[in-house]
Structure 1
Amino acid sequence: MKKLFPGGIMLLLCCTCWLLPAHAQFSLSAQLRTRTELRDGQGAPLPEGTSPAVFTSQRTRLSAGFTASRIRLGLAIQDVRVWGQDASTINRTTTANNNGLMLHEAWAEVLLTDTASARRRLLLKIGRQELLYDDSRLLGNLDWLQQARRHDALVLKYEQDAWMLHAGGAFNQNKEGAAGTVYDPTPPGNYPGNTNGGRNYKSLQFLYAGRKLHNGNVSFLFLADQFSRSYTDTVDNTPVTKWEDATRNRMTTGLYFNNTFRRVTLTAAGYYQFGKNVEGRNLSATLLSAAVQYACSKAFSIGAGADYTSGGGSGNTSHAFDPLYGTPHKFWGNMDYFYVASGFGNRGLQDYYLGAKLKAGSKWLLTAAAHEFFSASTLPSIDGRTTPSRRFGTEADLTAVFSLTPMIAFEGGYSYFRSTESLTSVGVKNISNPDHSSNWAYLMVSIKPSWLFK
């Protein structure tokens, strides 16, 4: 059987290629990505005397693509697990909520316009897919997370020369129903509904308009997402959350700019969020971002930037900005203290950072960054009189990537966070007797073979 299995795979692939219509192509790729981590205060400081965590997680992904006249198909199946979570002799003891085998992508993209028109294209992409726009700050695939992020959505795309206009939407339900559209946004198991620790949306709509520049792009985004309303009922003297058909509507809109002028790359973004948040409070929040990168040479560059997300609130109005469905790990420090599953009290964030990047030869890439974090709003008093400092702490990140071949890469990193009493206070992370020196280190191996059949 061991000798026949590889031969069977090759026979299947050969038959598939033989059956392809003219001018069609089939692609197949795989990824095996293991990541060993030492977490000694990753996400939030640990209490004094707590032992650090050490584990290895693994993503195994198989992707296939098919392209023919006026159609593209994409499929990605992945399994995400921690080494040792399953019994080695039988899988019936595996906890259902830990089952990491899932369909990550399954979509079709259809060209609706005449194939003779190369300048203008109208496309429809439907199915399970990644939504990835601009720098992934608000809409990204969150690839750092082993399970990544995807949406069950429909996207209509109009593209002409350097311009693009995309309109998309999604509508979630737990199962097929005979009546009503009640949606329970609570995911199974001990997992947050989204990266920021909130609920899954019931529905989502967005409009994206962008234009390519000489060495960058400028874009406009309007996104609305709706969340199920709820109330608390009592069942057998136990409080139970009940979900309703009605929803609360949140809207986010703004501009993004990125372009390179000789050796200088400028990036800026501004977004405003309004409507209702998931708790039903009025929402008025902002995100502002600016960064500059200077290429000292082809191999070495340095940069600096600042991010601001509003927080806090007054009365029935919240000023806490939610960065939607982006990739926080890319922006607010590698240790994921902010806008990830571990919350920080909706206080908002000021992040001032410096960074450097060195491409040493054709195989090495080294990066370093330093962040100084502050609250964007006043923190609650500790003893009724003393107002804590807004300073949250300092983080330093070091990362090294070695590409052995185009298909094989090794990556390692180390981060250190020195937190303040303000960060661990009751109104923010709420950690008793915290260790203010936190560490995180990882080693990742990524193997990505690919094949193309025409």
Structure 2
Amino acid sequence: MRRRNLFILMSFFIIGEASISYAQEEKTDSDRFIVTAQIRTRGEYRNGALYPRNEGILPAGFINERARLSLEYERKRLSLKFSAQHVGVWGQDALIDKNGRFILNEAWASFDFNDYWFMQLGRQSLIYDDERILGGLDWNVAGRYHDALKIGFKKNGHQFHGIFAFNQNDENVIGGTFYDSSTTKLYKNMQTLWYHYDCASVPLNISFLAINLGQEGGDSETKNSDTKYMQTFGTYIQITPSEWNISGAFYYQTGKNLLSKSISAYMASLRASYSLSKTWSVNVGTDYLSGNDEYGGTYKAFNPLYGTHHKFYGAMDYFYASDFKNGYNPGLSDTQVGINYKVSSSVSTSLNYHYFVTAVKLENLKRTLGSEVDYQLDWKIMKDVSLSLGYSVMFGTSTMDMVKGGNHKSWQDWGWISLNINPQILCK
């Protein structure tokens, strides 16, 4: 019955005066619906992705898929979005499945108080600046979403957002506010302030971000709550003069971690790309995330929180997208250089090299972790269909074995191919 009702609702949206729309249009007093569908299928060959493999360990292979359906409603001062998705691996579900995993990944409402102020409430993605601290993690088959209240302001190039979240496992009747994050790996509460300015006179964007993150450090047996608060604040700057695209970021962390240790950590990044011609461009960059040493009572390892780490620290996701060995975090210095070539209006390729070093000195070991080479090809087959593929190789060291595991003498590589079909229909 539910499936039939959904089909009728979809038919109502699609029938009528429908047109394909990819640009954000201004809201009007008239009602309109936007229907977006996505099928994204990706096959992977893993022979050392996420974690280095040991000698003799066989490679793995699988095909994962995202099936997503999004419905949006808009009029002048009101917007609503409901997005449901089924994600998983081919063969994960039975041929006859009575317990499907079709869930709401987004469900929010946005209300404009006037031309400048708005409020957005519900399950939503939090994507800010270059996604280094707060990102949508679209590479992951499921993506990342938060339950939050967002209050925003926008006028004359100035933007301001305040984000507030409070998480619980259930509708508690009594017993305090203990939050078990072992399964969700989420914070207990969060307060975030973000300010952004687009300078009209020069091609300059600048942002400031401040996050107060509360994590549950209480006892799961007694349900006694003991929230530990960590603060992250910093800035992101981007300037785009002529053929250049230059960006930099700096963030500092303080407060307490779950072991009640004081935190003093930081990260810095600098990136630059230059267009040599209409078809060729080059890029260089460096990232530094402080690490924790074995001495002193202050915790010095920077936590990039809920960023899209796949974008920055190598496509094989050895760092921050996966854990260090035994919880030890030596930090990271990542120096990179790349080249991009636009084969045609629909095909482009890129080749990037990363050189990884620990941020702290290690006893009886060199700091060099290894080098990674990432290749990617993107082909826009048609307006709403694209194909991407990639191949990466990691050349690790004995230091990599110590901080990540595995055996650096084993060949470590990873390959993937992905088809993304993502049409959007506007119904007025």
TM-score when normalising by structure 2: 0.91
The correspondence for 1:429, drawn from 371, 393, 404, is 404
The correspondence for 1:230, drawn from 207, 218, 236, is 218
Query: 2: distance between equivalents of 1:389 and 1:347?
Result: 12
Could you report, residue by residue, the CA deviation over 1:269-317 in whole angstroms, capped at 9, with x for unpaired residues?
1000000112221100000000111111122210101000000143221
| Residues 416 and 439, structure 1, Cα contact 8 Å, conserved in 2 | yes
CA shift for structure 1 position 378: 1.6
1:294 equivalent in alignment to 2:274: yes
Which residue is equivalent to 2:25? none
Which residue is equivalent to 2:132? 137
The correspondence for 1:184, drawn from 180, 183, 202, is 180
* SS of residue paired to 1:424: helix
Give the alignment of 1:226-305 within 5 angstroms.
226-231=214-219, 243-305=223-285
The correspondence for 1:352, drawn from 326, 331, 335, is 335
1:29 equivalent in alignment to 2:70: no
In structure 2, what residue type is equivalent to 1:393? G
Please say which of residues 434-443 and 280-289 is displaced more in the overlay: 434-443
| Residues 52 and 405, structure 2, Cα contact 8 Å, conserved in 1 | no
Give the alignment of 1:75-114 within 5 angstroms.
75-91=82-98, 100-113=101-114
CA 1:56 to 1:168, structure 2 compared with 1: closer, same or farther past 3 Å? same
* SS of residue paired to 1:200: coil
Mark the runs of 5 or more structure 2 residues left unpaired by the alignment.
19-27
Could you report, residue by residue, the CA deviation over 1:222-275 in whole angstroms, capped at 9, with x for unpaired residues?
0011111134xxxxxxxx766532200000000110111111111111000000
In structure 2, what residue type is equivalent to 1:355? G
CA shift for structure 1 position 216: 4.5
In structure 1, what residue type is equivalent to 2:391? Y
In structure 2, what residue type is equivalent to 1:278? L
In structure 1, what residue type is equivalent to 2:88? R
Which residue is equivalent to 2:22? none
Query: 2: distance between equivalents of 1:11 and 1:317?
Result: 59
Query: 1: distance between equivalents of 2:14 and 2:305?
Result: 43
* SS of residue paired to 2:93: coil
Could you report, residue by residue, the CA deviation over 1:95-125 in whole angstroms, capped at 9, with x for unpaired residues?
xxxx643211111110112xxx5xxx00001
Which residue is equivalent to 1:367? 350
Query: 1: distance between equivalents of 2:223 and 2:165?
Result: 19
Mark the runs of 5 or more structure 1 residues left unpaired by the alignment.
93-98, 188-192, 194-198, 232-239, 382-386
TM-score when normalising by structure 1: 0.86
Which residue is equivalent to 1:340? 321
Query: 2: distance between equivalents of 1:155 and 1:7?
Result: 32
| Residues 46 and 435, structure 1, Cα contact 8 Å, conserved in 2 | no
The correspondence for 1:388, drawn from 365, 368, 371, is 365
In structure 2, what residue type is equivalent to 1:396? V
CA shift for structure 1 position 206: 0.4
Query: 2: distance between equivalents of 1:183 and 1:6?
Result: 35
- Give the RMSD, CA atoms, in angstroms: 2.2
Which residue is equivalent to 1:203? 189
1:398 equivalent in alignment to 2:399: no
| Residues 396 and 408, structure 2, Cα contact 8 Å, conserved in 1 | no
Could you report, residue by residue, the CA deviation over 1:190-248 in whole angstroms, capped at 9, with x for unpaired residues?
xxx4xxxxx320001100011013435101000011111134xxxxxxxx766532200
Query: How many residues were matched structurally?
Result: 410
Which residue is equivalent to 2:424? 450
* SS of residue paired to 2:399: coil
CA 1:66 to 1:10, structure 2 compared with 1: closer, same or farther past 3 Å? closer
In structure 1, what residue type is equivalent to 2:113? L
Could you report, residue by residue, the CA deviation over 1:27-64 in whole angstroms, capped at 9, with x for unpaired residues?
00100001000000001111100100000000000011
CA 1:423 to 1:158, structure 2 compared with 1: closer, same or farther past 3 Å? same
Give the alignment of 1:32-51 within 5 angstroms.
32-51=39-58
The correspondence for 1:171, drawn from 163, 166, 175, is 166
Query: 1: distance between equivalents of 2:192 and 2:276?
Result: 39
| Residues 29 and 76, structure 2, Cα contact 8 Å, conserved in 1 | no
CA shift for structure 1 position 14: 5.9
In structure 1, what residue type is equivalent to 2:256? K
Query: 2: distance between equivalents of 1:44 and 1:51?
Result: 13
In structure 2, what residue type is equivalent to 1:77? A
The correspondence for 1:407, drawn from 376, 380, 384, is 384
Query: 1: distance between equivalents of 2:61 and 2:420?
Result: 19
In structure 2, what residue type is equivalent to 1:336? D
Identical counterparts, % of pairs: 34
Query: 2: distance between equivalents of 1:205 and 1:7?
Result: 39
Query: 1: distance between equivalents of 2:161 and 2:89?
Result: 37
Which residue is equivalent to 1:237? none
Which residue is equivalent to 2:13? 13
In structure 1, what residue type is equivalent to 2:147? D
CA 1:243 to 1:304, structure 2 compared with 1: closer, same or farther past 3 Å? farther
Query: 2: distance between equivalents of 1:152 and 1:89?
Result: 33
| Residues 312 and 378, structure 1, Cα contact 8 Å, conserved in 2 | no
Query: 2: distance between equivalents of 1:227 and 1:70?
Result: 35
| Residues 347 and 377, structure 2, Cα contact 8 Å, conserved in 1 | yes
Please say which of residues 31-40 and 278-287 is displaced more in the overlay: 278-287
